[in-house]
């Protein structure tokens, strides 16, 4: 890549991959690239996902519902390997024309309801089960304020800072500084809010916390982009308190394991089809079975 200033053409054309991580799956057109039906398990909720921050939102939400005793939230979680382009299969595109994980299909209704975009999944499930979203207009709106804050802010963290700091083929000062500044501002927004409240939207744990924790928790814990030291995330004391407390929730511990294909084998549950899978089918146990 040249250090020369780029002069955009009058009409942009896609004539080569951009380079860097995920270049092989980035393209300027929508739609399916191949025919492949989605698998379907036995439970009402069918999730198609990967344990990226957006995917973790959905699995944590479902596990929180099960923790609260909602049997109707029982689910199958099918692994979608996005680096292999599985999100461009015809069945997946039918469920989500935008070809992004996660996708939820609720088979407890006739016809089944498709739900795509992680924020939409959280809101759909909160309303369906009447939980983790307050009822009063003031409190409900505050939760939605923070839910949509996350949906609007995370692209600056992931597609902006994360891309140029960790994934771009070469590092350049301007984009890294530009997005580092914005991410630091976001961290300060959260830190100041959490100085006044135990949870992001107030006194109770809600879908706002479930939406925000996978992105900003991973950053603070140095599980995203290896950038915690660079961004001095430990200086945000209130945010760190909240991140640590959320991480200890049993449903969060389970949810972050589902559809995970990296890290410690004992923390990887590639697919989840029953609660027993957490004890019996993590990758350390699957590998042991294969060896036998």
Using a pLDDT cut of 90, give the percent of the chain over it: 90
Q: Is the pLDDT of residue 3 over 70?
A: no
DSSP 88-144: GBHHHHHH-TT--S-EEEETTSSS-EEEESHHHHHHHHHHHHT-SS-SSHHHHHHHH
Q: Is the pLDDT of residue 22 over 70?
A: no
At 177-217, the pLDDT tens digits run 999 999 999 999 999 999 999 999 999 999 999 999 999 99
Confidence band, pLDDT 50/70/90 cuts, at residue 292: very low
Mean pLDDT of the chain: 95
Q: Tell me the H-state helices in the chain.
A: 53-67, 90-95, 118-129, 137-155, 173-196, 207-212, 218-220, 228-231, 237-247, 250-255, 277-280, 283-291
pLDDT value at residue 1: 46
CA Rg value for the chain: 20
At 51-75, the pLDDT tens digits run 999 999 999 999 999 999 999 999 9
pTM greater than the 0.75 cutoff: yes
State the average pLDDT over residues 244-263: 98
Higher pLDDT, 288 or 221: 221
Confidence band, pLDDT 50/70/90 cuts, at residue 25: confident
Structure token pair of residue 6: 């780029």
At 137-151, the pLDDT tens digits run 999 999 999 999 999
Using a pLDDT cut of 70, give the percent of the chain over it: 94
pLDDT value at residue 111: 97
Contact 108, 72 (CB under 8 A): yes
Q: Is the pLDDT of residue 19 over 80?
A: no
Give the separation between CA 67 and CA 61, rounded to whole angstroms: 10
Closest to 234 in 3D by CA, of 187, 167, 195, 287? 187
- 181: CB partners within 8 A, 6+ apart: none
- 236: CB partners within 8 A, 6+ apart: 187, 188, 190, 191, 220
State the average pLDDT over residues 116-136: 98
């Amino acid at each position: 890549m040249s250090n020369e200033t780029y002069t955009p053409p009058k009409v942009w054309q896609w004539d080569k991959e951009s380079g860097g991580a995920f270049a092989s799956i980035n393209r300027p057109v929508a739609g399916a690239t191949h025919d492949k039906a989605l698998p379907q398990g036995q439970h009402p909720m069918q999730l198609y996902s990967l344990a990226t921050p957006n995917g973790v939102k959905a699995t944590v939400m479902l596990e929180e519902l099960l923790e609260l005793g909602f049997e109707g939230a029982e689910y199958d979680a099918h692994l979608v390997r996005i680096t292999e382009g599985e999100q461009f299969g015809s069945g997946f595109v039918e469920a989500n024309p935008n070809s992004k994980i996660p996708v939820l299909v609720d088979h407890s209704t006739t016809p089944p309801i498709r739900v795509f975009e992680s924020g939409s999944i959280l809101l759909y499930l909160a309303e369906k089960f009447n939980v983790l979203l307050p009822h009063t207009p003031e409190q409900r709106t505050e939760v939605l304020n923070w839910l949509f804050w996350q949906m609007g802010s995370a692209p600056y963290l992931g597609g902006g800072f994360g891309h140029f700091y960790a994934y771009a083929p070469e590092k350049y000062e301007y984009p890294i500084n530009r997005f580092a500044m914005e991410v630091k501002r976001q961290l300060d927004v959260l830190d100041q809010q959490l100085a006044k409240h135990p949870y992001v939207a107030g006194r109770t744990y809600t879908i706002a916390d479930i939406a925000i924790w996978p992105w900003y928790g991973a950053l603070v814990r140095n599980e995203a982009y290896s950038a915690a030291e660079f961004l001095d995330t430990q200086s945000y004391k209130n945010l760190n308190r909240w991140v640590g407390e959320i991480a200890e929730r049993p449903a969060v511990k389970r949810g972050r394991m589902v559809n995970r294909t990296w890290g410690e084998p004992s923390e990887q549950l590639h697919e989840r089809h029953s609660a027993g899978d957490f004890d019996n089918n993590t990758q350390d146990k699957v590998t042991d079975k294969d060896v036998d």
